[in-house]
Structure 1
């Protein structure tokens, strides 16, 4: 059996919720998955082509006047089986986060404390903006998409993001406070 990466399964999953074109897949990724899974246009179309070649999806082309032909992709029974097998496979290692703020803090003894505090305050502000975005998404799901079968699962992943973001905000505040305590 062909080995597939996680992006393959992300796209297979998106095919199950009505995202059938490369454009629709990219829109959904930008609006939801992008908060925890990054996928570029450069990955979407080759992955869709591979899904079709591997029999995990089919493609239906329809001509459009004045624009390129439209391609709609649909998950096959084999694709649903592959997605289910992946969903049920054991969880791998905990992913390692790449975070330039943490990297800067790690080496911050080499700069004045006020510079480190400025980085932390900027980061906290960005985290607070992200948290507000998550709140808005939660409100949109609960008010407009609550009838979707996937809505509870969307909220579970969103809740993870909210909790991680709240913890990071708290960490920023605590770290700034500790650095300020050194100055006294």
Structure 2
């Protein structure tokens, strides 16, 4: 069986929801998966073309009065089978992290303590904003009654985002405390 990139598998998964157009897929990504998987418009349409070409989905044109026609993608039984097969495979590796704050902090000996503190405080604020966004998303998922069997799994991924963000906030606080103690020496 042919292997696809993770973006293709993500789009196959999204096509199991009510999202059927490229635009809907991007909206779904931005509103639910963005905290752990990012896909640009530039990745969506080539992936959809490949999915149709490999008969994992069919494309149908739909029209609504007063709106331009749009292509809607529907998984085939082959597409569902490919998705299921991928889901049942073990993960290939623990995700590698590329984190600009850690890179800058690693070399912070070459900037002022004030700049390092500012860097950490700014990062902490962004993390706190992200955490609030996660809370809002969680409330939205819990209030939306039509998610069916997906709800529990969506909440698992959201919980991961909340926990890692909370840990990063605590790390910022600890690092700032240590910088403050060093300053007092």
TM, length-normalised to structure 1: 0.95
CA deviations over 1:131-172 (Å, ceiling 9, x no partner) = 000011111111224652201100000000000000000000
Task: Go from structure 1 to structure 2 and tell me whether the alpha carbon gap of 1:139 and 1:72 turns closer, same or farther (over 3 Å shift).
Answer: same
Task: Map 1:90-105 onto structure 2 (within 5 A).
Answer: 90-105=90-105
What RMSD, in angstroms, separates the aligned Cα atoms of the two structures?
1.5
| Contact 1:145–1:151, Cα closer than 8 Å, also in 2 | no
5+ residue gaps in structure 2?
A: none
| Residue equivalent to 2:5 | 5
| Residue equivalent to 2:57 | 57
SS of aligned partner of 1:86: helix
| Residue equivalent to 2:28 | 28
Aligned length: 184
5+ residue gaps in structure 1?
A: none
SS of aligned partner of 1:35: coil
SS of aligned partner of 2:69: strand
Cα drift, residue 98 of structure 1: 1.2
Task: Go from structure 1 to structure 2 and tell me whether the alpha carbon gap of 1:145 and 1:130 turns closer, same or farther (over 3 Å shift).
Answer: farther
SS of aligned partner of 2:15: helix
TM, length-normalised to structure 2: 0.94
| Residue equivalent to 1:116 | 116
CA distance in 2, matches of 1:68, 1:130: 35
